[in-house]
Structure 1
């Protein structure tokens, strides 16, 4: 019985494919392992009869299959209307911060004084910029995220063998993303959490009562913590002590016990100074002026910088945290330090620009996008609608930001999130994934969370999605 040629003999050898001049640039930019993996996938397609065994066809298949970069992370345009979208990496960096990261990617003077040739304080530029941004802070320190700042403070002041209490309101026992709960975070430090008040009402007297209870039990309070509730609001019959209230209680306890009890205020969203458009959002400067000994915050929220945990306050306490052994495990790398310094000292961040965006300009941008779509398809079901954006990332819960959105059929959502591969269309290098939101059967692309300089990329992505839907017959 006659049989055809063995297909395995027709599969081009791996070394022959990798030696193709057409793959030389990819080998340099992406590295051999990624390119070799794509070669393996192309060879398997030949074995399955889905690809011609010709070397040129195999090389073309490899090129089409290669990722644009060696990282699996994809650039995404955030058109959700959530300015600080945790699933999309929260704050986008300013161009100055991006350039700072690029410049710091090589060898830098991160711990070297070029003038003397001797070792220097790590992150001194970022620390100086942070101190300048919050003059009310005697000292500052930076760790790798907001939770790390809280853990370091609780460990250095009440845990880690000190076996002291951390006093905190029950109404501030928050759970953040991915199921992490604040009371469990504090317990992990070795400190004992002493809860006071109720979910909806806590008073300064409750905190004073906690001090008295600790003394009766022969214990000490190492830290009083006030945490800004993120992602939710408690309304109705409520009460909460202010920072000034808690500072007075801590001062009174120091008179009784002969030992100062630090007050830590976690502002959460990284607002360093008050903003008129976010009047209820706590900020670092106000908390310090009201009597907080330490303030912690995140760098990748309203500050508009990289993921980082900011610690500001009394010099002796900040130094105590900085010299604690745990600080080494929580320190930030040179890229974060570079981006943070450029964020603090550089131009307006994209987050602030989005907060301050003019509603009329948002509407005009949306109209231009609608015209582009209609010019490509006069029958396109596209409209410009009023929208509501939010800060997100745990910042300003309940605050609504008036906005404008491009309204498309809901079917656009999926192709916008998954643009076609580069080989599928000539303008693919300008097409990125776009994430909007689906409401009432419509895909809304909110312009407040899209920077104006990304309008061309957004238009290209929308047109590409329209072509994709047309090809599918949708």
Structure 2
């Protein structure tokens, strides 16, 4: 069949108003506003136009365009943010929301979300309270700090500290610690936004104490230490620890106390560590890979330490700053403290998570992040066997082979970058269908997406990040993929046996009605 010329195809595209009058679109009028339906129709028509211009469309199928517009419109009735089953083996998967909250934290969020709360109300004095009070005492008890403040995330915490203590002054940082964190946010960019003058010292792989000493001047506000939680420099490398930085700062502060210079050099030289991951417990199971705890950083001499709430701490997204009361009080008065403050639900989840840490053994059991990181490999293997058995039982005979294989899980979220975590996964090898199509189906076609990974033409579902409650969902999803495969095969056979369907032309109901 001769191909229709491109100009004729473009002229055959329906008008927006014409499409809005089609039965399929009109049926959605009671569910969605006309403006939204019109936008979806325009998007579907534009998609067809691009396909024509790219020579990817040979016939204009008005019904198909209407179907695309309907799918676009109906997507607005479904939640975009929804639960997924994480079968990747990456525990703090940033794209999947990082830490899973403990049950206590979930219940705390639900409790304050359903009604009013004591967010800024003191029931003892019957007067206005501070939202900082809900978590500050717990944070201090767990880290040994004098005071603390929590804001939206750790990048916000770093920004606020730099803006308060180093604006228009110098902050010295090693070149080997100018990290880029998730979403292309870089330490130099945050420093520039805070109006701190960044002073780079050392080289990418080696920085010495003398490099910091030579960079310190009367207008130096802080020595910034950035813990490389999402990477490691190995081999011919050297960095300066907090203890040595503390010595340099103390020497400089002693000189400043004897100096008669102006007020600029009367401010103390601070040691600020952006710790990133925020470990409150030392996880012995990771040996030399274990992150330093916040308490250890403070004991070594940091004036201020910032860290995340949703990484190794295992709570909601938050950025926490701990240190001396004098410094934290200044941060609380900074305008950014209000702009970056936490809402009631995040505070409820953070408070509940921190309270669990009062019993370290309970924390390892109750906080999902800690449990998944520290769970013995034998226990993970047992769950992988249960998962594989459920998948095998759900599959028709002759469609796939399911085995339990050894795998390596990761902490993720920019934590423990070199640490291999022993794990086990259910491996699906395909006799019908293929791994790529199955992965797409499990993610894109399911109400609860199952996110695994592909390795050597097989789909892997890692048991370290799957719970027993997730297993039936995974089995149902895999069975649905093969059921859909059967339907697709039967449809293809029917089309091959129907000569009228081979041209790929579908009627244009609107055009046909107009010509009658």
Q: Which TM class, normalised by the smaller chain length?
A: 0.7 to 0.9
2:472 aligns to what SS in structure 1? helix
Greater Cα shift, 103-112 or 79-88: 103-112
1:296 equivalent in alignment to 2:306: yes
Q: Aligned partners of 2:310 and 2:21: how far apart in 1?
A: 55
Displacement of 1:276 after TM fit? 0.9
2:279 aligns to what SS in structure 1? coil
**How do 1:243-392 residues align onto structure 2 when only pairs under 5 Å count?**
243-258=242-257, 259=266, 260-278=268-286, 279-280=288-289, 281-346=291-356, 348-375=366-393, 376-379=395-398, 380-392=400-412
Greater Cα shift, 290-299 or 370-379: 370-379
The residue aligned with 1:133 is: 142
1:465 aligns to what SS in structure 2? helix
Displacement of 1:368 after TM fit? 2.1
1:155 equivalent in alignment to 2:173: no
1:10–1:179 Cα change, 3 Å: closer
Displacement of 1:172 after TM fit? 0.1
Q: Aligned partners of 2:355 and 2:279: how far apart in 1?
A: 15
Displacement of 1:107 after TM fit? 2.3
1:166–1:372 Cα change, 3 Å: same
1:464 equivalent in alignment to 2:489: no
**How do 1:125-274 residues align onto structure 2 when only pairs under 5 Å count?**
125-134=134-143, 136-159=144-167, 163-211=168-216, 214=217, 219-258=218-257, 259=266, 260-274=268-282
1:283–1:9 Cα change, 3 Å: closer
1:133–1:457 Cα change, 3 Å: farther
The two structures, once aligned, show a CA RMSD in angstroms of: 3.2
**How do 1:92-107 residues align onto structure 2 when only pairs under 5 Å count?**
92-105=100-113, 106-107=115-116
Contact preservation (8 Å) 1:100, 1:338: yes
Contact preservation (8 Å) 2:390, 2:471: no
TM normalised by structure 2 equals 0.75
Displacement of 1:7 after TM fit? 11
Q: Give CA deviations for 1:189-218 in whole Å, capped at 9, x if unaligned.
A: 11101111111111222111111xx2xxxx
Gaps of 5+ in 1: 1-5, 19-26, 52-61, 421-430
Greater Cα shift, 317-326 or 405-414: 405-414
1:320–1:17 Cα change, 3 Å: closer
1:382 aligns to what SS in structure 2? strand
1:401 equivalent in alignment to 2:401: no
1:50–1:440 Cα change, 3 Å: closer
Contact preservation (8 Å) 1:273, 1:286: no
The residue aligned with 1:56 is: none
Displacement of 1:267 after TM fit? 1.3
Q: Give CA deviations for 1:66-121 in whole Å, capped at 9, x if unaligned.
A: 56976411321111111111111111112221222222223221001234431111
1:112–1:181 Cα change, 3 Å: same
Contact preservation (8 Å) 1:197, 1:206: yes
1:407–1:15 Cα change, 3 Å: closer
Q: Aligned partners of 1:274 and 1:72: how far apart in 2?
A: 37
Contact preservation (8 Å) 1:354, 1:451: no
2:354 aligns to what SS in structure 1? helix
- Total equivalences in the alignment: 427
1:146–1:33 Cα change, 3 Å: farther
Q: Aligned partners of 1:350 and 1:37: how far apart in 2?
A: 42
TM normalised by structure 1 equals 0.82
Q: Aligned partners of 2:187 and 2:350: how far apart in 1?
A: 25
Instruction: Pick one of 91, 98, 106 that aligns with 2:99.
Output: 91
Contact preservation (8 Å) 2:153, 2:318: yes
Contact preservation (8 Å) 2:165, 2:221: yes
Contact preservation (8 Å) 1:174, 1:230: no
Displacement of 1:360 after TM fit? 1.9
Contact preservation (8 Å) 1:166, 1:192: yes
The residue aligned with 1:414 is: 440
Gaps of 5+ in 2: 1-17, 45-60, 258-265, 357-362, 430-434, 491-516
Contact preservation (8 Å) 1:436, 1:446: yes
Q: Aligned partners of 1:360 and 1:449: how far apart in 2?
A: 14
Higher CA-based Rg: 2
Divergent runs of 4+, >4 A: 6-17, 32-38, 47-51, 62-70
Q: Aligned partners of 1:436 and 1:35: how far apart in 2?
A: 38
The residue aligned with 1:117 is: 126
Greater Cα shift, 86-95 or 373-382: 373-382
Displacement of 1:472 after TM fit? 3.3
